[in-house]
Chain A
């Protein structure tokens, strides 16, 4: 099958680095969905989102419409919407395309979502490392306010709605939904124990719905086109399009919007991203951002739907496809990820705070030539102690996110670890040690 791009979310989007202005957005039919939504009841908007079957694009794939129904009615408290634009998952850069290039599509979706859940305030949480997204979103919010789209009288309806951009400041954990709430409230980004779930008790103990940027941008399209038309892309498992980022050892690292039912992981790598660089062969691919299990090269002939990628042994997650060629030392790749999770652990839970440190230390020992044969089994056991999908030993999923790569790297690429033990370290470490003082490895701090 040839590479087929679909154009929905990014239809009419200016090139990377540019922003669609309010005038341009309106000329292309922008804010017509909002006008339509203002003529609908909140229940009708929610029903359209339920009917669309749209699943959260932040990673877990939870049905958005169903989540919205968890907001309790008549509590007398305000309701909030928090849009998750933290996008800190290694390998992911899809939400950046929306926030930077078509910010009004997101703002329109946020207003519609507020209308549906009974909120009048939305915060769009954008990671601090995305200055272009923050700037472009803020400019778009100003335009919308000046045009009477936001503020005390949304498009003359008499209904008030505010959308604010909230900039993070460098902490992966603020992408975890309750960590994000702590951050918006002005504290350290500490995740919170669930229940209570944020839909019941979120920002300032009020009902709060948290959705990913791409999820909310899709709400605009669902209201505009109706659920049936929206569902014409994708399949029953993964309706709608998906924005995917492809990076690593490919000829052309890129993002692409696809029909997930009609595009395989192989096509993403070989057609959209031009195949493996330098004429090499594929060794491994992480399909959904760094937290999901790695797949060997034999497992890529699957459509990019949640269900199919899961059946292949991984997760489509947040659609950050990281590709590794046949020269990659998987010990080095895993060490890089363990440095990341250890650094980003917020430290509240012992299995995570200590465990991610143990994982990093053990992998580093094998990487730098100090590994013993039994260390490989030890690494596997330590991973089980720290967590795993659904292990529930910690407040949030970060610990499990470190375990999934570890277990899968050992499962599929054990030979690399055995070689590093037998041959006195990872080839990457050996090449480096011969050139520089090993302590200068970036992960040393």
Chain B
């Protein structure tokens, strides 16, 4: 499990924390914690709620607050975040685009789609568009092989992509 280069945590800590305060989030989090016999079980759902509510990534302050809330060391929370590709420990675009690069999609032209997006936005996969609208990354088999090649944009899926249609779908969302 590897992550793209991570910006300096000290620099990240200087960024403002977007969204609600942690106390405001508690009302949403407490019922989730109650689903698990041990507080730490709620780790993934809690991180999801916090990440969504606070600009799509987990600020160093969020990490500290989640650790306190779940009664685990901060290093544990960091370990979890770096293991899962969908948790972000640095700022990302307003939506994350996952372009499938795995076999069924590759067989039907995923590489051309990836090339087209890299060219259109002048970034490499994993990068964020200049206007911070999208972070575009590759993903492993999205379970949409019947619509290969495909991508997931936030919660929406797009299939039977061509280089042109992939760009068009993103442009239409701006």
Contacts and interface: CB of A to CB of B under 8 A. Distances in A.
Interface of A: 78, 87-93, 96, 127-132, 135, 162, 164, 166-172, 183-189, 204, 245-249, 253-255, 286, 290, 320, 322, 324, 328, 332-333, 336-337, 340, 343-344, 346-347, 432, 436, 440-443, 445
A91 B140 CA distance: 10
Contacts of B115: 436, 440
Interface string B33-71: 001111011111101100000000000000000000010
A253 B147 contact: yes
Given A253-B146, A445-B125, A90 B37 contact: no
A369 to B, nearest CB: 18
Contacts of B38: 185-186, 204
B140 A253 contact: no
Interface of B: 1-2, 4, 35-38, 40-45, 47-48, 70, 72, 76, 79-80, 83-87, 98, 101-104, 106-108, 110-111, 114-115, 118, 124-126, 138-148, 152, 154-155, 157
A135 B139 contact: no
A93 B146 contact: yes
- With most chain A CB atoms within 10 A of its CB, the pick from B124, B140, B155 is B140
B111 to A, nearest CB: 6
- With most chain A CB atoms within 10 A of its CB, the pick from B102, B104, B157 is B104
Contact of B146 (A172, A255, A346): A255
A252 to B, nearest CB: 9
B141 A88 contact: yes
B159 to A, nearest CB: 9
Nearest to B35: A164
Given A128-B86, A162-B35, A186 B103 contact: no
Contacts of A188: 79-80, 83
A185 B87 CA distance: 17
A445 B45 CA distance: 28
B76 A442 contact: no
Contacts of B36: 186
Contacts of B146: 93, 245-247, 253-255
Nearest to A80: B37
A441 to B, nearest CB: 8
Nearest to B155: A131
Contacts of B1: 171, 343-344, 346-347
A93 B143 contact: yes
Contact of B102 (A96, A245, A324, A336): A336
A249 B57 CA distance: 37
A237 B70 CA distance: 47
Contacts of B110: 442
7 contacts: A90-B141, A93-B143, A131-B155, A169-B84, A186-B40, A188-B80, A290-B102
Nearest to B72: A186
A417 B103 CA distance: 18
Nearest to B139: A129
Given A253-B145, A442-B114, A170 B85 contact: yes
Given A169-B48, A186-B44, A436-B115, A333 B144 contact: no
B143 A185 contact: no
Nearest to A327: B107
B104 A322 contact: yes
A132 B155 contact: yes
Contact of B44 (A183, A344, A432, A445): A183
B43 A129 contact: no
Contacts of A131: 152, 154-155
Contact of B101 (A320, A332, A436, A443): A443
Contacts of B45: 166-167
Given A204-B37, A248-B107, A249-B108, A442 B125 contact: yes
Given A169-B84, A186-B44, A337 B142 contact: no
Given A249-B107, A445-B125, A167 B48 contact: yes
A247 B140 CA distance: 15
Contact of B103 (A168, A184, A336, A343): A336
A129 B107 contact: no
A445 B126 contact: yes
A169 B108 contact: no
